[in-house]
Amino acid sequence: MKKITKIIIPVTIFGVLLTLAILIRANPPESSRRFTPPPQAMVVDAAQVHLQDYRILLESYGSVQPRTKTTLTAQVSGQVVYVNPNIRDGGFFNKGDVLVSIDPRDYEANVRIAQAGLMDARQTLADASARSELAREDWSSLGNEGEPPELVLRLPQLEAARAGVISAEATLQKAELELERTRIIAPFAGRVLQQGADIGQVVSPNSEIATIYATDYVEVRLPIRNRDLKYVSLPERYRDVKSADFKVDAQIISDLVGRTVWDARLVRTEGAIDQSARQLHVIAQISDPFSKGVDGRPQLKIGQYVTAMMAGHVLEDVVVIPNSAIYQGSYVYVVENDVLQRRNVEITWQNDHHAIIETGLGEGDILVTTPLGQVTSGVRVSAVLDESLSVAKDTSRDVFAGGERL
């Protein structure tokens, strides 16, 4: 019994001491629990704001359309006996090429008949003239004085013969014109959009032969947002002023086969607001769009959807910041004396990447570029200035040479 007591007492004491130690560790003295280390400053990326010149680049979208498009139709009837090998969808042709020929034999016969009719009419006129002159001589030989009457001179018959010649000449001209129309000639250098007739087909007047378009230019119809109109010089025309050769530079970007950039120019402004979009449209023109070029770029396709970048005005001494630094479209964060401060801003213009600030930021302000969550003003921060994170680069050296300085 004494042995058991000797064992239980030390174990009990050890257990009590262990329990006390655990309780003390879990519940430290009040002074220790209230002590908290000072908060560390939040590290943020930042960029210093500088006034700079900034070229407005307006972005728009549209589809490629031919500047000149026409549907060739037959003007005479007959069977198609020849089709130019290039008259297939997508084929190219030159101005003056014979595109389609209609069987000309009937029309050649009509020309010969008209020629014979003209010869006969001329002979009739010659006979009528000779009879008139003979009548005049007979009038004089009979001792009559004065001018012979018209009936004596057979003038009605003479005028009828002259009218017969004029009619025969017109008939010949018409026959020759119909013969000429059996050959359909390309009115311009272009490309076939859609073929409408083939060899052996019998066509009649107004039958569609092919739909073609010119290849010297293509155009893109581009909408401009109303708020952007004051930032671009539009190629307007005026009734009482001779239009100058004024054009605005643009670039057309195609992503159909990789990324391809085409130089273009805004050549005219439409005369009415589009009723469906409630926006003004301008026309961009691309020269020689179907040449391969030195870089082997792919062709533009009619109907292809493209992006357009238009050179606008150059704004001087403005504050430009990235959109990622703007919260809810109305405020930014700046650093003042190592303290984060919220600053309300007013945006005067904005695109998908940058915003021009009207009020709220100025030269030398430290703009926070790190995306922040729910933070409040007054938080201590450590700003890491990175010159490579410039607020917005100077775009006055843009590839566009046009544009007007404000």
Lowest mean pLDDT across 217-231, 337-351, 379-393? 379-393
User: Which among 238, 221, 111 has a CA at the least distance from the CA of 175?
Assistant: 111
Gap between the Cα atoms of 201 and 204, Å rounded: 10
Gap between the Cα atoms of 305 and 69, Å rounded: 19
Q: What is the CATH number of domain 72-213?
A: 2.40.50.100
Q: Domain boundaries in the chain?
A: 43-55+315-389, 59-67+216-313, 72-213
pLDDT(403) > 50: no
Tokens 């900034």: give the residue: 54
Beta bridge partners of 241: 238
pLDDT digits (tens, 9 = 90+) for 193-252: 999 989 999 999 999 999 999 999 999 999 998 888 888 888 877 776 665 556 678 899
Q: How many CB atoms lie within 10 A of CB 80?
A: 21
| Torsion sign over Cα 102, 107, 108, 109 | positive
Helix/strand/coil for 229: helix
* Confidence tier at 157 by pLDDT (50, 70, 90): confident
In CATH, which of 3.30.565.10, 2.40.420.20, 2.130.10.30, 3.90.1310.10 is domain 43-55+315-389?
Answer: 2.40.420.20
Gap between the Cα atoms of 365 and 245, Å rounded: 44
Q: Is 182 left (phi over 0), alpha (psi -120 to 50) or beta?
A: alpha
Gap between the Cα atoms of 309 and 312, Å rounded: 9
Whole-angstrom CA distances from 196 to 74, 191, 208, 269 are 11, 14, 6, 34
Gap between the Cα atoms of 389 and 47, Å rounded: 6
Half-sphere exposure of 235 (CA within 13 A, CB side): 22
Beta bridge partners of 346: 359
Lowest mean pLDDT across 88-92, 150-154, 163-167? 150-154
Residues 6+ apart with CB under 8 A from 237: 243, 268, 269
* Confidence tier at 132 by pLDDT (50, 70, 90): low
pLDDT(401) > 50: no
Lowest mean pLDDT across 34-43, 63-72, 283-292, 361-370? 34-43
Residues 6+ apart with CB under 8 A from 369: 44, 45, 46, 47, 322, 324, 325, 389
Average pLDDT of span 293-304: 78
Gap between the Cα atoms of 155 and 373, Å rounded: 108
pLDDT digits (tens, 9 = 90+) for 309-334: 988 889 999 999 999 889 988 899 99
What are the strands, taking DSSP E only, across 288-377?
Answer: 305-322, 331-336, 339-344, 346-350, 354-359, 366-368
Average pLDDT of span 287-310: 82
Output phi, psi for 247, to 5 deg: -135, 155
In CATH terms, the superfamily for domain 59-67+216-313 is Efflux pump adaptor protein, beta barrel domain (2.40.30.170)
Q: Is 33 left (phi over 0), alpha (psi -120 to 50) or beta?
A: alpha
Helix/strand/coil for 331: strand
Joined together, the tokens standing for residue 189 give 């250098």
